[in-house]
């Protein structure tokens, strides 16, 4: 996987975190640097853990379904990307309560489920360990940055950039899925 693909994929996966952080920052009230750090690390760690866990799971089953692995990876990425685009086009404005560790971890997990599926699909498509580790670090970094930006800027920006960001992220995932076929 090229550096550009790793960057694009990690940016695509961090879009949900950005949108949730933008909307959820309203629930936080006055946002201190400590709150920004807590929220950002929760999202970043969860996203990185789940993409790597997905890669480990995918790698463990890839040898059993070797011939269909690329197609399965494509289908997973197509579904996730299509869901992101569809969700953006529906324009459902959901706010998330980021107060309290329970709410924060649930939001972090919910925005990271797609990372688990992407990790599985990439492993089934033959992603090597060094690429998986590089992607995990990139996903952590972009997710933390997206969350810092989202929590810091709040709902002021969320209405303007949430939909285009989700559509772009979804299209990037679909593009990477198509690339897996070739």
pLDDT at position 99: 77
CA distances from 110 to 3, 72, 104, 163, 182 (A): 27, 22, 10, 18, 31
Rounded to the nearest integer, the mean pLDDT of the chain is 83
Q: Kindly indicate the confidence band of residue 141, based on its pLDDT and cuts at 50, 70 and 90.
A: very high
Name the least confident of 36-50, 72-86, 155-169: 155-169
pLDDT at position 87: 74
Q: How far apart are CA 131 and CA 1, in angstroms?
A: 6
> What is the percentage of the chain residues whose pLDDT exceeds 90?
33
Q: How far apart are CA 6 and CA 10, in angstroms?
A: 6
Q: Is the dihedral of CA 161, 163, 164, 169 positive or negative?
A: positive
pLDDT at position 74: 81
Domain with 76, as residue range(s), is: 3-180
Number of domains in the chain: 1
Give this prediction's pTM. 0.77
pLDDT higher than threshold 70 for residue 27: no
pLDDT at position 171: 81
Beta-carbon neighbour count of residue 111 at 10 Å?
A: 26
pLDDT at position 96: 64
Of residues 53, 42, 180, the one with CA closest to residue 119? 53
Classify 32 as helix, strand or coil: coil
Contact 112, 48 (CB under 8 A): no
């Amino acid at each position: 996987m090229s550096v550009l693909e790793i960057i694009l994929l990690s940016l695509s996966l961090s879009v949900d975190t950005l949108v949730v952080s933008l909307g959820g920052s309203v629930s936080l009230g006055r946002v201190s640097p400590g709150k920004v750090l807590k929220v950002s690390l929760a999202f970043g760690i969860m996203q990185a853990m789940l993409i790597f866990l997905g890669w480990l799971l995918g790698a463990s089953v890839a040898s059993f379904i070797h011939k269909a692995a690329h197609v399965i990876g494509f289908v997973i990425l197509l579904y996730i990307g299509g869901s992101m685009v569809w969700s953006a086009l529906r324009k459902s404005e959901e706010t998330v309560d980021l107060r309290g560790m329970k709410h924060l971890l649930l939001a972090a997990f919910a925005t990271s489920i797609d990372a688990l599926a992407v990790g599985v699909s990439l492993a089934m498509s033959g992603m090597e360990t060094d690429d998986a580790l590089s992607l995990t670090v990139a996903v952590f970094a972009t997710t933390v940055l997206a969350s810092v930006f989202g929590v810091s800027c709040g709902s002021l920006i969320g209405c303007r950039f949430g939909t285009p960001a989700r559509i772009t992220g979804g299209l990037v995932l679909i593009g990477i899925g198509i690339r897996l076929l070739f």
